[in-house]
Amino acid sequence: MPEVTCPRCETRQSIEAGVERYTCVRCGARWVFATCENCGQRFHMPPGTTSWTCPNCGHRHVAPSRLTPTAPTTPTTPAAVPTATAAPAPSAEDRRRRLRLGIIALVAIGAIVLGSFLLTGGGETTGGQSPSTALDPVAAMCLHLRDLQTPRVGAFTRAASELAADADAIEAAGNTQLADAVRVLRRAVIGYRDALKTQGGDDTAAAAAMAQALSNPNIPC
């Protein structure tokens, strides 16, 4: 059987030959395979991804346009009854906008949780210490997630660096499960940052991966 590596938890696992999708045996993430029509390379994609840019050759893949058949002309009658029409399907840009708003909402919730923690005295600082150095590792990690509210390369680069240190500190404190979740989130942040660097590129898959990482129940923010 061929083997694949889950992009979310990096678990190596066997799958049936020729399958188009699978569910990770460890973290439960669902993936489909997309093959570049230009270079032939195959990649993991979240289900429902319609537009993407090949990271190997840079070829842009877009969803095929659909032609709407023209309805036949019918005679106008005085008692014509209006017919309901289906709402247009959301565009790729609409999906990207919703993903960004979802990411911002998740980070905002984390900020509220952190604020409650500080107001109850859990984040009291002493002397000239800054809040991020005086907080416990988990609270410091939640504080650093604020950078993800601004989808910019600089903010995401800074967040990736901070999350690496946070994961090490959390692991040193004995919480290896949370440390692993933070490292998965850091990889998703780096992937989204790299997608932002490509002007005009499709960042749907990267945004979906980061939203999934942020919603991990092991991350308390």
| Alpha-carbon torsion angle 87, 92, 96, 102, nearest 10 | 30
Sign of CA dihedral 41, 43, 48, 50: negative
Q: Are 156 and 193 in contact (CB under 8 A)?
A: yes
Query: What are the residues whose beta carbons fall under 8 Å from the beta carbon of 150, sequence distance 6 or more?
Result: none
Assess whether pLDDT exceeds 70 at residue 114.
Answer: no
- Taking a C-beta distance cutoff of 8 angstroms, is the pair 8, 44 a contact? no
Q: What are phi and psi of 199, to 5 degrees?
A: -60, 125
pLDDT tens by residue, 157-203: 999 999 999 999 999 999 999 999 999 999 999 988 888 887 666 77
Contact (CB, 8 A) for 57 and 38: yes
The pLDDT assigned to 99 comes to: 56
| Lowest model confidence (mean pLDDT) among 56-60, 61-65, 102-106 | 102-106
- End-to-end, the C-alpha distance of the chain in Å comes to 39
pLDDT digits (tens, 9 = 90+) for 22-58: 898 898 888 888 888 888 888 778 888 877 777 778 7
Query: Mean pLDDT over all residues of the chain?
Result: 74
Q: What is the pLDDT, as a whole number, of residue 203?
A: 74
Q: Which residues pair with 13 in a beta bridge?
A: 4
Amino acid at 149: Q
pLDDT computed for residue 109 by the predictor: 47
Q: Are 41 and 56 in contact (CB under 8 A)?
A: yes
Is residue 113's pLDDT more than 80? no
What does the pLDDT read at residue 164? 95
- Beta strand segments in the chain, E: 3-5, 12-14, 21-23, 30-35, 42-45, 52-53, 60-61
